[in-house]
């Protein structure tokens, strides 16, 4: 394959060029209720070519080798057009020339497990919620995505890496009278099939919660002091803060770029945030990004002070900051963009019990249900929660939606727990879907949170 890619690169008359070929193998098994609705394995493939010509940088994605000639022409013409119409020349930060083949170590290789075994495991886990009379539906599936990547650039890098992601989970829906409630259940990872085994307890627990939610009270809209659990703390780190550590987002928002200067004090002293895709055996793990740069650990915030940023080679040069290896694509259909790898709030010393004691009266909200940001503002849902009175759980609540301002909330995080948990499945959508987007944190206490209710 590298020879084929080299031929295409050799025909590309550019100051810099890279090409990535991917063969993507999917296996999907889906149940809706008791019924199997999808099963099968397939593969799709394609190329992404990027060129830097006359200081203009452009990309083209194509699926047929016979389209390579047109693709090269289009990328070069577009790069020239960019160069002609922009005052600031595009440069790429210097990166090491890498020749490497990296296949991740798998504890249990999913490719060696028969589709029948995957089917029976999914069927068994799906049957757990369906046993409950109040559960009226499930959408539970197994998904396996294998990206076989070949990367070549005109500087001499030649990298072969596989990314193997498994996940098992879905949505459980309960009903009583006219009231419907649902909850997500999920597990998975980047280091093998074992991640989706032994999940009975997880499915039992989520079933019990979705049934209990039928009796829970809708939360009253208002402003509360809240403890958020590790999953939600991770969503906060990702949605509210993380996206603005991505250089391609802040570069398009000058006011945010000004506020997010390295060295700015943005958060409370207890807040430290890291992105570290090099932690092995985590969902977000990879070695090289999709422009051939080795990913490194980045301390994004230390004791409330902004200390780092996530970059592509282009933005690292533009910001005059070090490259970080965070330029990642969903698959062969896309040119890479800057993505978080494994982002988390660093744990501190306080136990969950200490957080409850400090909270006194407020809410304890648990697990994320979608989130979105627009500049400094963010919103996300929680799957369920509890009212806390005098440091003790006092009744389950539902329909919890949080809205907030990044800068204010960073200051309003007043206590950070000691119990870090990282997520096992992801699905960040930033034009492309990143199924390996991993986030986490310990329990954290935030004051003055706006809760929308429903």
**Binding of residue 317 to other proteins (CB under 8 A):** no
State the number of binding residues for other proteins (CB under 8 A).
Answer: 90
For residue 152, the minimal CB distance to other proteins (Å) is 19
Looking at the Cβ atoms of 26 and 158, the one nearer to other proteins is 26
For residue 59, the minimal CB distance to other proteins (Å) is 5
Looking at the Cβ atoms of 222 and 360, the one nearer to other proteins is 222
Answer whether 295's CB lies under 8 Å from 278's CB: yes
CB hemisphere CA count around 215 (13 angstroms): 7
Looking at the Cβ atoms of 92 and 420, the one nearer to other proteins is 92
How many CB atoms lie under 10 A from the CB of residue 16? 18
Looking at the Cβ atoms of 78 and 194, the one nearer to other proteins is 78
Looking at the Cβ atoms of 53 and 424, the one nearer to other proteins is 53
Looking at the Cβ atoms of 104 and 452, the one nearer to other proteins is 452
Among candidates 16, 57, 324, 292, which has minimal Cα distance to 155?
16
What CA–CA distances, in Å, run from 88 to 15, 83, 424?
16, 8, 41
For residue 18, the minimal CB distance to other proteins (Å) is 14
Q: 78 is written with which tokens?
A: 């577009």
**Binding of residue 85 to other proteins (CB under 8 A):** yes
What CA–CA distances, in Å, run from 241 to 160, 205, 398?
32, 30, 25
Q: 99 is written with which tokens?
A: 């020749």
Which residues from 322-361 bind other proteins, rule CB under 8 A? 330, 333, 335
**Binding of residue 1 to other proteins (CB under 8 A):** no
**Binding of residue 453 to other proteins (CB under 8 A):** yes
Which residues from 36-75 bind other proteins, rule CB under 8 A? 36-46, 57-65, 67, 70-71, 74-75
Q: 190 is written with which tokens?
A: 């980047």
| Residue from the set 29, 397, 422, 446 that interacts with other proteins by CB under 8 A | 29
Answer whether 308's CB lies under 8 Å from 300's CB: yes
**Binding of residue 261 to other proteins (CB under 8 A):** no
For residue 352, the minimal CB distance to other proteins (Å) is 25
Looking at the Cβ atoms of 356 and 435, the one nearer to other proteins is 435
Q: How far apart are CA 22 and CA 232, in angstroms?
A: 33
Looking at the Cβ atoms of 324 and 373, the one nearer to other proteins is 373
Looking at the Cβ atoms of 242 and 442, the one nearer to other proteins is 242
Which residues from 271-310 bind other proteins, rule CB under 8 A? none
Do β-strands 362-374 and 222-228 pair in parallel, antiparallel, or remain unpaired?
parallel
Q: Which stretch binds other proteins (CB under 8 A): 76-84, 97-105, 185-193, 288-296?
A: 76-84
Sole residue written with tokens 């199924």? 435
| Residue from the set 1, 97, 107, 223 that interacts with other proteins by CB under 8 A | 223
Q: How far apart are CA 54 and CA 16, in angstroms?
A: 10
CB hemisphere CA count around 64 (13 angstroms): 4
Which residues from 181-220 bind other proteins, rule CB under 8 A? 181-182
The one-character DSSP state at 219 is P
Residues 6+ apart with CB under 8 A from 49: 8, 12, 17, 18, 19, 59, 60, 61, 62, 68, 71, 72, 75
Which residues from 118-147 bind other proteins, rule CB under 8 A? 119, 136-137
Which residues from 366-425 bind other proteins, rule CB under 8 A? 369-381, 399, 401, 403-405, 408
Q: Quick one: which H or E segment has residue 150?
A: strand 135-153
Answer whether 186's CB lies under 8 Å from 425's CB: yes
For residue 276, the minimal CB distance to other proteins (Å) is 26
Answer whether 392's CB lies under 8 Å from 257's CB: no
Q: 450 is written with which tokens?
A: 């706006």
Residue 200 exposed, middle or buried by CB count within 10 Å (0-12, 13-18, 19+) = exposed
For residue 405, the minimal CB distance to other proteins (Å) is 5
What x/- string results for residues 239 through 258 when contact with other proteins is judged by CB under 8 A?
------------xxxxxx--
């Amino acid at each position: 394959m590298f020879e084929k890619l080299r031929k295409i690169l050799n025909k590309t008359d550019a100051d810099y060029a890279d090409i990535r070929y991917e063969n993507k193998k999917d296996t999907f098994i889906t149940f809706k209720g008791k019924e199997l609705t999808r099963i099968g394995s397939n593969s799709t493939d394609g190329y992404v070519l990027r060129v830097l010509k006359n200081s203009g940088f452009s990309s083209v994605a194509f699926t047929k080798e016979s389209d390579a000639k047109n693709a090269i022409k289009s990328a070069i013409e577009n790069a020239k057009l960019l160069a002609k119409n922009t005052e600031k020349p595009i440069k790429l930060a210097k990166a090491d020339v890498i020749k490497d083949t990296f296949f991740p170590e798998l504890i249990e290789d999913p490719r060696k497990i028969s589709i029948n075994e995957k089917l029976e495991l999914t069927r068994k886990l799906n049957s757990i919620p369906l046993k409950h009379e109040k559960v009226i539906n499930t959408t539970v599936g197994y998904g396996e995505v294998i990206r076989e990547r070949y990367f070549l650039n005109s500087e001499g890098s030649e990298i072969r890496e596989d990314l193997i992601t498994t996940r098992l989970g879905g949505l459980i829906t309960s009903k009583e009278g006219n009231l419907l409630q649902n909850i997500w259940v999920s597990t998975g990872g980047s280091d093998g099939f074992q991640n989706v085994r032994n999940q009975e307890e997880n499915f039992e627990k989520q079933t019990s919660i979705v049934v209990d939610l039928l009796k829970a009270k809708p939360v009253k809209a208002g402003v509360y002091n809240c403890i958020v659990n590790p999953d939600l703390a991770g969503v906060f780190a990702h949605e509210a803060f993380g996206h603005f550590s991505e250089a391609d987002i802040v570069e398009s928002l000058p006011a945010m770029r000004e506020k997010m200067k390295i060295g700015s004090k943005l958060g409370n002293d207890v807040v430290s945030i890291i992105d570290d895709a090099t932690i092995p055996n985590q969902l977000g793990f990879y070695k090289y990004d999709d422009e051939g740069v080795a990913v490194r650990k980045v301390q994004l915030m230390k004791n409330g002070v902004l200390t780092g940023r996530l970059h592509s080679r282009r933005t690292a040069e533009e910001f005059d900051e070090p490259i970080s290896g965070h330029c990642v694509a969903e698959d062969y259909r896309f040119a890479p963009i800057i993505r978080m790898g494994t982002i988390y709030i660093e744990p501190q010393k306080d136990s969950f019990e200490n957080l409850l004691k400090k909270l006194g009266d407020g809410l304890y909200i648990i697990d994320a249900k979608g989130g979105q940001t627009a500049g400094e503002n963010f919103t996300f849902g929680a799957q369920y929660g509890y009212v806390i009175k005098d440091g003790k759980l006092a009744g389950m609540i539902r329909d919890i939606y949080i809205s907030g301002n990044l800068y204010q909330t960073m200051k309003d995080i007043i206590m950070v727990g000691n119990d870090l948990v990282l997520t096992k499945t992801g699905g960040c959508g930033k034009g492309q879907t990143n199924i390996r987007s991993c986030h986490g944190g310990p329990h954290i206490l935030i004051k003055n949170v706006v809760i929308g209710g429903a």
